[in-house]
Structure 1
């Protein structure tokens, strides 16, 4: 059943989340970009803002519309709220007799509600869940945060020129993975319930049955997001093309900054480091985000296996689009296009795959 929440009644959603003890995260305009940050009142939402994206280009412009979610995506996704950029895993302490004692440091996350999650990011979260939770050794640090996450999805009504989620099968319409789902129209939101937690929350809201006109309008607005020009093959044969001369071309343009892996909602590479205390009696073991564009990523005895931007980019693309099929049964790309927009030199992975497979 589809419900309707008027725009005037929307603050009830925020009040209910806060009353349930959730720290609310939602999109806001910061320094010329849409970012997810703490939401304390509805007026902080990006009213009337829309984005223009191209390779190496991201700009916001004001449309004057009443819409809060009429944009494609910003640089941030859900990932930082589950796979923390930096966290302590365990600590070792030396007692007076010289014996070492190890203690796991599990996070104690507060409940977080993220408002404005898109289809590509929910698909990416499902891949992160598969990596961190569904293997032989589930990650308890990720699990603690994931269990405390409530997700309110919003269907896309606008596609950036860099979006290609239709070709990966991950959007723009949200089909699963949400607690509540919103589709924005002029005077409010068509609302759908996706979980028991979502149902509990919906009972606290002044909802009405969505009329056929409201449902049709929401459906019509979602069609605008399907106009995407970029595509990606389901499984490009990149392992058969490791010596293709085009790798040299893209390597000459790549500056190995790692932006593509930082904004990617599915990348999970990390490093683990020791932080010893100056007195030598304790040390903390940390996990930090890392990137296959970091020379240390492939370092073994004798040096690094991958040493040039060509090597880094080839590793990233072949793993993301080919190796993930062996690991997870699908591509590691959900078509969000962030790596295209936020690449300083405008490298477009869909164009690179096209050149490699032509």
Structure 2
């Protein structure tokens, strides 16, 4: 069932309505961030009007390959995940946690960082990324040790989701049950439709503030033709996924293949560069760095992203716990697809395919999962024989 089937309180806007949406969100004091073309890619950046959206642009994706391509239909959201995710704004790569100063009498005063954060409006959140935000919500705000820096950004965020109608060659959200229809958690949801009746967007509200914004938009009541077209576009996208995961319990697969030969094969190619963790919308690991000025009277603690592919990530006095590339890749994959369930109640993978596209040697997590499953099948057959 698609998102447009779940909510009958919907409306239709055109390109002028999209421009009005950005204007209304800005007038409400929000910093609007959305997709735009820059430096040969579709990136996420602050935008001030609809003209900055990537109308008429799409992407070609493959393992280790990303290419911006022109489209002839003028679509704004007919592209797949780019090099960034919304994690960049909600869980920034670098955050100052506190500063300390020594005064004239030698007393050290520590001040927690309280730099104001923007009230964001995210325009164009894909279903897979909407699920990724929900995953990070559980990781960074659930449990005993919540991340106050994340919570401040997340509490004020307004999410405009866009259902996927154009999956990329590296997308596998259907396998992870994260798309292409939008799930819960949005304030507004859009489905882009281009056909003989024109270029328009089906819009529905998912929150009180979303309904208030929708009421301000220049719109018309949704008609059955637009609803049907939106539903069909999303259903067609579900049938055109570029990748799949094996149809098995991935938790069990990861647990039963810890000693598989395939780990040696993949890590013979892996550079342990950490690109996959940097572009992943759910990876959250960080470390801290303390810096001081030359006088020693001022110091700061900064938190920044870290990767489990870093050899020193598990460093203890006797050395790194995971010293080999094999152990580090296996840790990332088994955590993402398996033991994440034990910690947080869901998979850590949302099927966006970024780790495949932005791996410099084109390692494909879906290919590795299929290979592990085949090897497990051969081992089971040999044992039975």
- TM-score norm. by structure 2 comes to 0.90
Aligned partner of residue 319 in structure 1, secondary structure: helix
Scaled by the length of structure 1, the TM-score of the pair is 0.97
Counterparts of 2:17 and 2:145, CA distance in 1: 44
Match of 2:383 in 1: none
Paired residue for 1:274? Answer: 290
* Equivalent in the alignment of 2:241: 228
Residues 256 and 309, structure 1, Cα contact 8 Å, conserved in 2:
yes
Q: Which of residues 106, 127, 138 is equivalent to 2:146?
A: 138
Match of 1:167 in 2: 175
| Counterpart residue number, 1:155 | 163
Deviates more, 1:302-311 or 1:264-273: 302-311
> Which of 11, 25, 41 pairs up with 1:3?
11
- Give the equivalent residue in structure 2 for 1:341: 357
- 1:257 is matched with 273
1:61 aligns with 2:69: yes
Secondary structure, counterpart of 1:315 in structure 2: helix
In the TM superposition, what whole-angstrom CA distance separates every residue of 1:200-244 from its partner, at most 9, and x where no partner exists?
211211121100011111111112311224222442432332221
The answer to whether the 8 Å contact 2:57/2:74 transfers is no
Give the distance between the partners of 2:154 and 2:254, measured in 1 at CA.
33
Gaps of 5+ in 1: none
Report the secondary structure of 2:51's partner residue.
helix
State the Cα distance separating 1:85 from its structure 2 match. Answer: 0.5
Distance 1:42 1:229 in 2: 29
Please say if 1:82 is aligned against 2:90.
Answer: yes
Task: Note if contact 1:26-1:116 (Cα within 8 Å) is conserved in structure 2.
Answer: yes
Cα pair distance change 1:82/1:107, threshold 3 Å: farther
Take 2:330 and 2:115, find their aligned partners in 1: how far apart are those partners?
A: 35
1:23-38 alignment, distance < 5 Å: 23-38=31-46
For residue 9 of structure 1, give the secondary structure of its aligned residue in structure 2: helix
Instruction: Give 1:109's aligned residue.
Output: 117
Question: Is 1:288 matched with 2:301?
Answer: no
Residue 17 of structure 1: aligned partner: 25
Match of 1:44 in 2: 52
Counterpart position of 1:298: 314
CA contact (8 A) 1:107 1:141 kept: no
- In structure 2, the gaps of 5 or more residues are 1-8, 375-385
- 1:216 is matched with which residue? 228
Q: Which moved more, 1:171-180 or 1:231-240?
A: 231-240
Query: Comparing 306-315 with 188-197, which one deviates more in the overlay?
Result: 306-315
- Distance of aligned partners of 1:324 and 1:107 in 2 relative to their CA distance in 1, 3 Å threshold: farther
Q: Indicate conservation of the 8 Å contact 1:155/1:182, yes or no.
A: yes
Large movers: runs of 4+ above 3 Å = none
Partner SS for 2:276: helix
